Amino acid sequence: MGSVFEVFVSSILDNNIALAMILGMCPLIAISTSTKNARGMGYAVVFVVTITGIINYPIYLLLQQTGTEQLNLLVFIITIAATVQFLEMFLEKFFPTLHNAFGIFLPLITVNCAVLGVSLFFVTNQYNFVETAAFSFGSGVGWLIAIVLLSGLREKMDKKSDVPKGLAGKGIAFITLGILALAFVGFTGVAS
């Protein structure tokens, strides 16, 4: 079980999906202006990434058996779109409070590259099923940590610091992300 735990920790810290793999940037920049929204989006990503990772794994095995791995992109993206659609209807019917909490974030997730990225990385890294599940969940948590950290910093900066006019907004968000990513480089080797 040591290796599963290693995969989990490394996907949160030294291979953080947002700060080391640089995936899911568009929502990371667009939604990180307030901590509340950032948390909502983060939880939704954890949820969807874990589920689609687990669903896509057996589907990939099926593709491998029929010798059509070339089509994995097409199949993965359809699975993701379908899962998101299904989740939305399911939550609306059975867990309306949770559905309200996720709100507009669920549909946006289909175009979050972190979700497709996780499905592609378990193929390149050749994980087995348990490792894929750990990797998917860990990546989601890593993304949640990144967006909450960034939004907290941006919120503080917005009120208290005097940012040059040309750098305000997206510019300073990238510089902040760079410093955050630099801090996460310090975690390299934690998991192994």
User: HEC string of the chain?
Assistant: CHHHHHHHHHHHCCCCCCCCCCCCHHHHHHHCCCHHHHHHHHHHHHHHHHHHHHHHHHHHHHHHHHCCHHHHHHHHHHHHHHHHHHHHHHHHHHCHHHHHHHCCHHHHHHHCHHHHHHHHHHHHHCCCHHHHHHHHHHHHHHHHHHHHHHHHHHHHHHHHCCCCHHHCCHHHHHHHHHHHHHHHHCCCCCCC
Which CB sits closer to another protein, 29 or 191?
Answer: 29
Asked whether position 37 contacts another protein by CB under 8 A, the answer is no
User: What whole-number distance in Å separates Cα of residue 124 and Cα of residue 146?
Assistant: 24
Please identify which residue in the block is written with the tokens 């939550």. 91
Among 121, 127, 135, 143, which residue interacts with another protein (rule: CB under 8 A)?
Answer: 121
Asked whether position 55 contacts another protein by CB under 8 A, the answer is no
Asked whether position 156 contacts another protein by CB under 8 A, the answer is no
Among 110, 148, 157, 187, which residue interacts with another protein (rule: CB under 8 A)?
Answer: 110
Binding segment for another protein among 47-55, 58-66, 89-97, 110-118 (CB under 8 A)?
Answer: 110-118
Question: What are the distances in angstroms from CA 189 to CA 21, 87, 155, 169?
Answer: 16, 36, 31, 33
Shortest reach from residue 37's CB to another protein, in Å: 12
Shortest reach from residue 97's CB to another protein, in Å: 27
Asked whether position 147 contacts another protein by CB under 8 A, the answer is no
Among 90, 182, 186, 190, which residue interacts with another protein (rule: CB under 8 A)?
Answer: 182
Which CB sits closer to another protein, 5 or 111?
Answer: 111
* Number of residues located near another protein, criterion CB under 8 A: 49
User: What whole-number distance in Å separates Cα of residue 188 and Cα of residue 15?
Assistant: 8
Binding segment for another protein among 4-12, 48-56, 91-99, 180-188 (CB under 8 A)?
Answer: 180-188
Binding site for another protein (CB under 8 A): 19-26, 29-30, 33, 70-74, 77-78, 81, 110-113, 115-117, 120-121, 123-124, 158, 164-175, 177-179, 181-182, 185
